[in-house]
Structure 1
Amino acid sequence: MRYVGLAFFLSGVFLAASGAAQAQKQYGPGVSDVEIRIGQNAAFSGPGSSYAFQYRVMAAYLDALNAQGGVNGRQIVLLQRDDGYSPPKTAEVVRQLVENEDVLAIVAPFGTPTNAAIQKYLNLKKVPHLLIQSGASRWNDPDHFPWTTPYSPFYVIEGRAIGRFLLNEYRSAKVGALYQADDVGRDFMKGLREGLGAEASTMIVKEANYQVTDPTIDSQVVALKSAGVDVVFLAAQNRFAAQAIRKIAELGWKPQIISTSIANSVKEVLVPAGEAASTGIISTTNYKTPSDPAFRSDSGVQQYLSFLSKAFPGHDPDDIAAIRGVSVMEAAVEILRRCGDNLTRENVLKQATNLRGLRLSLLMDGVTIQTHPEDYSAIKQIQLIRFDGEKWVKFRELIDDE
């Protein structure tokens, strides 16, 4: 099992030639002896903009890496384009990145509907569409879309883990679900029902959904309360999850809230909703908590803290956006490192789909990346966490979907 630490802190790793680099150099678009050009769409504006900090972290990570010599002596040039979380805009900016900017790959692009808008195009062009920042199960389809690979645990897997937890701990509860009306919400609900099994039809007493363009979800929350719900399952993005938590508190209602991993940022969700209203919420994660004293001697955590303090002084080290941004770029850098001097699109895909047992520095112990040519799903382990009013605290054992 290979362990990958924070790339730019490992002296000399990326300056040394790998075994693959001994062969004759082979370059695809966007590659030369001195640089590797990659691109990504990101929601720096629009309804998904609360996730934008993750992309600022990715850019800062690569800046720090490049200052240490880059990957195998090459600088990584990251071209980020704002798509406003609008699928037509995503298609436009990604086409420009591929056809005008000549990028080697699209790496860590954001969003479910936005990636759906570019999936066919990138596969037809045979451009690596890597480490997608969405847990929709549609990204694991190597037979039809071999150039598309996921990163996040699938929403179905997370929903299934939560369903099993509810079945064990809240079997007599009335469950109400508020979910996003697209592939995101549908996958979460599919997993939740699978986890509840035969009890799903009786335990889930009310479902409500929303569109990402809706101004509020107040009426949906009121409908859940009116249905006598005592466990609320939120499969909602940051802004809507915060609204729901705040509205629940305003109603004087005290159900057990379970907010999925797409909306468990303390800064972007729990603080806006109110720490008091958020205390006791349950969620899931795959990452270490950097501020936890248990990780004081963890080299990966310490390297991350050093990076964050230099790049974003004073920023909360437990911010999931920062943690995820670093972790995703660690994986991307490892893929490029393994390519050596064979930096063709075909070899990038080959390396991305053979990450067996890859450990990243901020993933919890026991959580690994496991991609195979026949199965692209990267992370299958889930950890339950509970908010104590200040930070997330893990409870129960790590759940392995396999």
Structure 2
Amino acid sequence: MIAGRYLRARRKEAFISVIAGLTMVGVAIGVATLIVVMSVMNGFRGELLDKILGLNGHFTGYPIESQFTDYKETVAALEQVNGVGFAVYFVEGQVLASGRGNSSGVTVRGMDEENLKKLSLLYNSAEQGGFDQWDDSRGVAIGYRLAQSLGVGIGDQVQIINPDGAMTPFGSTPQIRSYPVNAIYNLGMVEFDSYFMFMPLEAAQDYFRMVDEVLKPGMGPLDPLASDEEIDAAYERVPRASAIEIFIDDPDAVGIMRQRLQAVPDLRPLVLTSWQQRNETFFSALQVERVVMFTILSMIILVAAFNIISSLIMLVKDKAADIAVLRTMGATRGAIMRIFSITGTSIGFIGTAVGLVLGVVVAANAETIRASISDLLGVTLFPPEVFFLSSLPSRTDPVEVTVVVCMALGLSFLATLYPAWRAAQYDPVEALRYE
């Protein structure tokens, strides 16, 4: 009751109450800022991880020895391993893509419809066109940013140029072909929407010359005078793949899954590169940034805690006579300490509660707030070309929110100890001498 009375403003104590109110606002701002920033950073990391691992596997396997012609058997064997969700094979190459007067370097990845359906993130991201009858389409799928860059739409022709073309007596000639745009997808990640092009597997194998003509088993030397029909009948086309992507159930179980994959019997030797190895620098930088931002923003709460100390010291000075009267009426030093500890902790508790509500609400509507501010100011906040994502993601972690709230309450309580101790040390005689 006494602590509550000290929190309520009176006319002669208005200045102290204003300081207490500002302190409360400082705690609220610190808590809300920490929750919002950590939620946005969690969302940023989570979205990047989902996008990257939604298209690229947790492991990428490259053949070591002979040509990769048994890719279907290899995928079937890997999918039987405990902990493996699925695996896909593909053909990949670098080309120059040209549209209506514009050109861009892109990565072409050839996949059949069966494997595309496994990549649900890609298969369901088509904004225009689609992947129906993909294997027979003889067309390509490109990201919407690449489509804007090349100035093409559904049905338009895209010309791709591969410098490693056919060999002639005059050297290697570039291989130039045109393909219609059958699908335009939007993954929401600048890298994939700007630099990746997909085409049917057989078309990609043909374009990148990933098909070998080999003699059928049991065929002897051909007659030099054999006809073209006999030669065609004696040879068979053996397609190759560039690599395979392996998707596992637990992205963090890279170490144990590597051992399981390498222990598969009768599996061709593969060089396995995990997603952590491919993105080690990037995600390490994100983790360091998270720790640094948490440390820096925690200073806001620490400053507010010092404000609690100053406001309580002023309150103790103002209430010296009240403290002396309470002591003469039988209040113990412990009771005096509890009064001022409750007063200061209440400031921190109310500020923390307000900051918690404010932070959770803002974090839940981060993208809406960003879009509104961008429209109001006429500028692009968090441009996707810099931050890789087309929207501002936010994921609130209950554990981190609990840590922030506990830290704010803990600092608020610690800030009350010294002023409360000073109040308990007041001598009633000295305090009342000039009253």
Q: TM-score, normalised by structure 1?
A: 0.22
Q: Hey, which of these two has a bigger chunk of helix by percent?
A: 2
Tell me which of the two structures has the higher relative contact order, counting C-alpha pairs closer than 8 angstroms and 6 or more residues apart.
Answer: 2
Q: TM-score, normalised by structure 2?
A: 0.21
